[in-house]
Amino acid sequence: VVGALGTVTANGGRVWYRFLRDVPYDVYAYGGLAAYRVDVVFASETAIGYGAGAGIEASLKQLFNSEDFPPIFVNAEVGFAGANWDTYSGFSALAVGVGAHFRFGKR
C-alpha cells in the first residue's frame, strides 16, 4: 500500500478479513503497518505506523455478468491511520481509498 499525497507519505502492507465470500459484493475489514515519513522544509523523519478500517469489494466479472472477463476487482474503503515520531507530535488521519486489483486463485 502506498500513500503519497501531502507532507506525510506511507509505504506498507495490510491483511484483509472478508466477511462475505462468493457474492457480488464482499465486505471486509483490514489492519496494516506502514513506514510513515513526514517531510517539512527543514527536516524529515520516518516512523512505523498502523491503520485499520473497513471496505467493500466488487467483482467486475459478476457486475458485467461475463464469464470471459478476467478476475478484476474494485474496492472502496474508509479507515483510521496513525504514527508517532520522535521530533513531531503524533499523527492520525481518516484514510479513504479506492483501488482495483487482479485476484489470483479461485477464492
pLDDT in tens, 24-82: 788 999 999 999 888 878 778 889 999 999 999 998 888 888 888 898 999 999 999 88
Torsion of CA 65, 66, 71, 77, to 10 degrees: -20
Q: What is the pLDDT of residue 29?
A: 96
> How far is the C-alpha of 99 from the C-alpha of 75, rounded, in Å?
5
Q: C-alpha cell of 7?
A: 507532507
> How far is the C-alpha of 76 from the C-alpha of 34, rounded, in Å?
19
CB 10 within 8 A of CB 2: yes
